[in-house]
Amino acid sequence: MIDCYCPYCFVGLDIAEICPDGHLDRADSYDMKCPNCAKDIEIEVEKNPVYYANKIEYHECMECNKDFRLEYDLIIPPKKYADIAPFDVMLCNNCYWKLFYEDMYGENWKGDANVKTCTI
């Protein structure tokens, strides 16, 4: 299969035959010699994005009971939920950080103006 043409001799180049080790899978460009005219050429690769649509999943926060969208999995759950598997702890961002600071500074921590109420 001809993927591109040499800019000097215009011979069709089969990239899979020329680069069997997969250089172009890991890079945006690859320098090589044309197998026909032996001149140095650069093979450029344009990677086309692939789009997927997924359902948006909302979870109920274990602290404030409001629905939130999970943007990442918690690696270290707060002490209050230490007996639950980390990936089963469902906390909104605000409740997670509130509990995090309570763990760090004690239960008397009052928070500051940057901690807002839980929202979707």
Give the pTM. 0.48
Q: Is residue 52 part of a domain?
A: no
Please tell me whether residues 24 and 62 are part of one structural domain: no
Overall domain count for the chain: 2
Whether residue 30 contacts residue 23, with contact meaning beta carbons closer than 8 Å, is answered with yes
One domain, residues 35 and 73: no
Q: Is 72 among the domain residues? A: yes
Residue 50 maps to a domain: no
Is it the case that residue 118 has pLDDT exceeding 50?
A: no
Residue 116 domain flag = no
User: Mean pLDDT throughout 3-19?
Assistant: 84
- Is 26 inside any structural domain? yes
Query: Does 98 map to a domain?
Result: yes
Q: Are residues 65 and 93 in the same domain?
A: yes
* Secondary structure of 29-76 as H, E, C letters: EEEEECCCCCCEEEEECCCCCCCCCCCCCEEECCCCCCEEECCCCCCC
Quote the domain boundaries for residue 80: 58-105
Give domain status of residue 27, yes or no.
yes
Structure confidence by residue, pLDDT tens digits, 37-74: 999 998 887 777 677 777 888 999 999 999 998 877 66
> What pLDDT, on a 0 to 100 scale, did the predictor assign at position 22?
58
Residues 38 and 8 in one domain: yes
- Whether residue 100 sits in one domain with residue 69: yes
Distance CA(16)–CA(10), nearest Å, equals: 18
Residues 62 and 40 in one domain: no
The DSSP code for 28 is S
Establish if 66 belongs to a structural domain: yes
32-38 CB contacts, 8 Å cutoff, 24+ apart: 34/6, 34/8, 34/9, 35/11, 36/6, 36/9, 36/11, 37/6, 37/8, 37/9, 37/11
- Separation of alpha carbons 35 and 20, rounded Å: 14
Residue that has been written with the tokens 């939130």 in this structure: 68
| Rg value, the chain, Cα | 27
Residues 6 or more apart whose CB falls under 8 angstroms from that of 52 comprise none
Residues 38 and 67 in one domain: no
Q: Looking at residue 119, what is its pLDDT? A: 43
